[in-house]
A and B are shown apart, each in its own frame.
Chain A
């Protein structure tokens, strides 16, 4: 068989198909991911299993290679677009089956900043991890954040910024939460290229997340820890 001959995904057994989907995700092949997702569903895989074993695991590998400097931003964006193609198929099924959500997240890029690539990756990874994500978009001011907290009562507030000039706005939001006595009602995660852990601590966030995979892991860990503490207190 020549290398360029098209691979018949439906002819692969489950384990090889999942491995192939990891490769396809890595290569940013959205059509192949959609096809693989449909094949696994037709084989009576649950939407949740397809999400976790094929898509999230594939993106975890992408995340590791991005962190190690093997993959770069364009490749990660293509992989994310491929994952979106799978998520589009799975999302209604996950809602239909009432799959348990880990928690709820309100997320947005701060006021004055229109950059949303990182924020969108984080939102997608959080959704993949089982969070219900309310995305406020870009250029989000303090009132929009607080209104969304009031309306959706999330576990987590996530804020993103790409510009050195806009990242201090995170402190404006957190300080306003403190003034209104609601800071401790939520976990606050911050991220963005110019941020670092010291900045996260200085503005009063619960954690700085350096990339989307870390954001997903941190969100899960902090939400579970908070729930354990709450149940111990009860």
Chain B
């Protein structure tokens, strides 16, 4: 089949989801999907996410037939949705990656049970020191620990592909922050189902996709 007949599908995602999205794409053998990631530093600056996504969508919408924005609301206060709609793209469900990994009903239960909960994913455990500790300036100003986390009581590690090393690291992070530790294995949750739905919709609209996979 000529290259030009292949639908062009882009997943434009948060850098913190790169490995997980690549895993889901590989498991499903979606060879036609291109993954692009925005800097993970936006995790700590959510007010900058809509503009960063829009800038990339403006260019990518000329090149790709379908685009999945690999962000939840992520603290943008609903400002991401009109941008996603304007470019005819789709975004991941929920308020945060914690929510779609845990799935919404389970996440609501967790929040309801203990609102002072800090959530970490595989990515945040692996990069806890850079994204959380140094990202919040705690390496330079450890006296701010209580200002940031004084109202938190527990840390829940929502794991995608847990290893003993990652669980130990998550537990160490909890200890560093003075929080009780819990581990819940979520796998990919709604991330996987959302990408599958997106791919299925692409298949429906672009029948030649089935041949290209």
Contact = CB atoms under 8 A, between A and B. Distances in A.
What 10 A-B pairs have minimum CB-CB distances, sorted nearest first? A74-B137, A194-B77, A114-B151, A164-B95, A164-B73, A114-B116, A165-B95, A194-B75, A74-B141, A77-B147
A117 B136 CA distance: 13
A167 interface: yes
B77 A195 contact: yes
Interface residues of B, number: 24
Interface string B124-140: 00000000000011101
B64 interface: no
A78 B77 contact: no
A91 B53 CA distance: 46
Interface in A162-178: 162-165, 167
A32 interface: no
Interface in A18-62: 28
A138 interface: yes
B115 A139 contact: yes
B76 interface: yes
Given A77-B144, A165-B95, A193 B152 contact: no
20 contacts: A73-B136, A73-B137, A74-B136, A74-B141, A78-B141, A112-B111, A112-B115, A113-B115, A117-B148, A138-B151, A162-B75, A163-B75, A164-B73, A164-B75, A164-B96, A165-B95, A167-B77, A193-B75, A194-B75, A194-B78
B76 A194 contact: yes
Contacts of B76: 164, 194
Q: How many A residues are at the interface, by size bracket? A: 20 to 34
Contact of A199 (B78, B147, B148): B78
Contacts of A115: 151
Nearest to B47: A193
A193 B79 CA distance: 12
Contacts of A139: 115
Interface of A: 28, 72-75, 77-78, 81, 112-117, 138-139, 162-165, 167, 193-196, 199
A171 B91 CA distance: 26
B46 interface: yes
Contacts of B77: 164, 167, 193-196, 199
A116 B146 CA distance: 11
Contacts of A113: 115
Given A74-B137, A114-B115, A196-B79, 12 more contacts: A28-B141, A77-B141, A114-B151, A114-B152, A162-B75, A164-B76, A164-B77, A164-B78, A164-B96, A165-B111, A193-B77, A194-B77
A91 B141 CA distance: 27
Contacts of A112: 111, 115
| Highest count of chain A CB atoms <10 Å: which of B111, B143, B147 | B147
Given A116-B151, A164-B95, A74 B73 contact: no
Contacts of A138: 151
A2 to B, nearest CB: 24
Contacts of B73: 164, 194
A156 B187 CA distance: 46
Nearest to B144: A77
Contacts of B141: 28, 74, 77-78
A78 B140 CA distance: 11
Contacts of A162: 75
Nearest to B139: A74
B166 to A, nearest CB: 26
A115 B151 CA distance: 7
A117 B147 CA distance: 7
Nearest to A74: B137
A109 to B, nearest CB: 9
Interface in B49-99: 73, 75-79, 95-96
A78 B78 CA distance: 30
A49 to B, nearest CB: 29
B190 to A, nearest CB: 15
